[in-house]
Amino acid sequence: MNDTGNFVLQHQNSGSLWETFSNPTDTVLPGQTIERNGTLSCRQSETNYTKGRFQLRLQDDGNLVLISVNLTTDNANIPYFSTKTTAGNVSGSKGKQLVFSSSGDMFVLRENDGRVPLKGTEGVSVRDNYIRATLDFDGIFALYSHPKNFTGNPSWISPLVYMPDDICLRLGVGVCGYNSTCKLKPDKRPTCECPKGFSFLDPKDIYRGCKPDLSRKSVTRVESVLLADKWVWIGISIAAALVLCTAYYLLRRRRSALAPAGIFL
């Protein structure tokens, strides 16, 4: 583990065999870059560190995007954040790297060496703070800091930067799942709510969506209605059969009465 936070496996000649900076998961640190087609993938929940459904990607066209993905197929949905750093009409304007510089600045570096800074990442002191940028499980890409000299609570300070500003507005139901609504909390993090008559699929993971509330009483009521309807239809069917039988009987009697007169129906 070197001073930048890069964990490196080396061979006997001290060359790198594998390192975390080249294989990021959900976090980047100062001094780290992401090349085209590189990604960050969030974890599934606050406590579940398996791969989640949000990604940060530097696409092959140079555009840095935040997207949700289908975990089964890995197919991407429409981006809910984009730097729009594609080729455009200016030569060399295509993004080639996401750079998190050792000074704490984060930007998309274009082919012509132009820089597109990410909102709010300028001016954070790496001399006085440890800094990291993480794609959180709720789809927010956030910049965190931690004082190098501190007293009291040693946890990371509340995020300095959020992208996007309002994920509920940008992504809607994609944050919370079906039958639920997304609401932005005062700290700009999304939370999910179920409408009346619905409850969370998993109370321990409110981002999975909601299901209708069907109590045993409600189920019994529905079963009673269905059973009543069943007997109504049976009664209608019997009545219809009796009407048809009666009509057929009367028609046969009429034909029998008219037959001696030489009238055939």
Q: What is the pLDDT of residue 135?
A: 95
With tokens 């700009």, the residue in question is 188
Is residue 46 domain-resident? yes
113 and 194 in a single domain? The answer is no
- H/E element, 193: strand 190-193
Report the pLDDT averaged over residues 114-131. Answer: 80
Instruction: Give residue 155's pLDDT.
Output: 74
Expressed as residue numbers, the domain containing 237 is 222-261
> Is 19 a domain residue?
yes
Q: Return the pLDDT at 66.
A: 95
Domain boundary among 96, 131, 165: 165
The answer to whether residues 152 and 252 belong to one domain is no
Higher pLDDT, 24 or 174: 24
CB atoms within 10 A of CB 57: 21
Q: What percent of the chain has pLDDT over 70?
A: 86
Tell me: pLDDT of 193 over 90.
yes
The verdict on residue 92 lying in a domain is yes
User: How many domains is the chain built from?
Assistant: 3
Question: Are 178 and 74 within one domain?
Answer: no
- This prediction has a pTM of 0.75
The pLDDT of residue 3 is above 60: yes
Q: What is the DSSP string of 32-74?
A: EEEETT-EEEEESSSS--SEEEEEEEE-TTS-EEEEEB-TTT-
Token pair of 1 as six digits? 């583990």
Backbone angles phi, psi at 208, to 5 degrees: -90, -10
pLDDT digits (tens, 9 = 90+) for 155-169: 777 677 778 888 998
The answer on 233 and 198 residing in a single domain is no
pLDDT at 258: 67
Asked whether residue 127 falls in the same domain as residue 246, the answer is no
Contact between 27 and 137 (Cβ < 8 Å): no
Residue 1 lies in a domain: no
Q: What is the pLDDT of residues 37-48, one digit of tens each?
A: 999 999 988 888
- 126 forms beta bridges with none
